Structure 1
Amino acid sequence: MEQEKPNHRIKIVPLRNRPGLCGPAAAWFSGKWGIPEAEYRRSMEGMLQKSAAVPQWYVTLGGQGEILAGAGVIENDFHNRKDLSPNLCALFVEAPCRYQGVAGMLLDFIRKDLGKLGIPVLYLVTGHTGFYEKYGWRFVTMAMGDDQQPLRLYQSPAFSPSPPSALR
């Protein structure tokens, strides 16, 4: 499932459907977050090798195929609340694409995709306040990051696929 957004000329792509993008995506995420590219590659390879719902990785492509935004879903995003899983991670939108609804579209796409994969709830940790609430995320508690810094922990239901309408 890929989703093109005609008003924005962007396409949201689950990397499990386009494995050839994993290398460029791993390099892109590494450049944004300073985590070694090999870590992203390892997670993406794990996604491709198993049929489990987690991990998952997504990119938003522009009209020329360039990565404009991306995010992942992993078991735990480096915090002490291992019981609150899976976690959205590494959400990033390139500066020229910010304030255009790209993050919201990507968040909605991921929640719909996870709902189809049978994941009922998604969590995330962040230092931001106000941003995720705009997109329907609810603050749950504070968590301690692996670096011993407090983080805000949010949750959102995944969006379940609509049941087919009954025949009349």
Structure 2
Amino acid sequence: MNILPLHCVPHHAERVTDWLWQEFGDGLPREFLASVIEHSQTPGALPMTFVAVDGEQLLGTVGLWRCDLITRQDLFPWLAALYVDVAARGKGLAGQLQEHVMGYAAKAGYSELHLWSACRDFYERYGWQYIGDGLEYPNKTVHLYRYSLTGSAGATTE
């Protein structure tokens, strides 16, 4: 299994778009997420999409984005759109995808990452700190998290 920038395997872009639209699209046109994926394939720039592959099999995806919550543009950057294919779940891939983005972000000079989630308890297992609630458009309450990329903060607790 390898985790690669999507720009290295662009033939997976359509499948990644479908995953994100089905999982996170909630009323958004597919073209909206297709645009996000299209514009997240520039080497060395944000936003960046990564994919986990085993040979030619696509297993999961995650993004490193400038903004993932329009009401909290003060927070930057974001781990976003983490998705693992149903057949690949339960094997630690979500944690590996997070670690990959954390390492990439740290090398790029960022000191922390943010994310939002509608559920609680999942990300805490990976060292994310709950920092309060936020508002996803138009009126959905979500939970905000921060991960420190400096020192020993954020160790996995599983």
Q: Considering the TM-score relative to the shorter chain, is it more than 0.5?
A: yes
- Is 1:92 equivalent to 2:83 in the alignment? yes
Once the two structures are superposed, the pairs formed by residues 55-74 of structure 1 within 5 Å of their partners are: 55-63=47-55, 65-74=56-65
Aligned equivalent of 2:154: none
TM-score by length of 2: 0.80
Structure 2 Cα separation of the partners of residues 141 and 18 of structure 1: 36
* Aligned match for 2:140, one of 149, 158, 167: 149
Give the distance between the partners of 2:19 and 2:138, measured in 1 at CA. 24
C-alpha displacement of 1:30? 2.5
- 2-structure distance, mates of 1:28, 1:99: 18
Residue 163 (structure 1) aligns with:
none
Name the Cα RMSD after superposition.
Answer: 2.3
* Range with greater deviation from structure 2 (94-103 or 40-49): 40-49
Q: Alignment partner of 1:47: what SS?
A: coil
What is the aligned partner in structure 2 of residue 127 from structure 1? 118
Deviations 1:1-39 (A, max 9, x none): xxxxxxxxx221121333343334223332333344433
**Pairwise CA distance, 1:159:** 6.5
Deviations 1:104-147 (A, max 9, x none): 11100110011112222110011211110111111112111112
Unaligned runs of 5+ in 1: 1-9, 161-168
Q: Distance in 1 between matches of 2:32 and 2:104?
A: 23
Structure 2 CA distance for aligned equivalents of residues 40 and 61 of structure 1 = 21
CA contact (8 A) 2:41 2:47 kept: no
Label 1:132 to 1:88 Cα distance change in 2 as closer, same or farther (>3 A).
same
Equivalent position amino acid for 1:43 in 2: V
Larger Rg belongs to? 1
Does residue 1:112 correspond to 2:128, yes or no?
no
Query: Percent same amino acid among aligned pairs?
Result: 27
Q: How many residues align?
A: 149
Q: Name the counterpart of 1:43.
A: 36
- TM-score normalized by structure 1? 0.76
Cα distance, 1:23–1:117 mapped onto 2, change above 3 Å: farther
* Partner residue, 1:165: none
**Separation of aligned partners in 2, 1:20 and 1:158:** 31
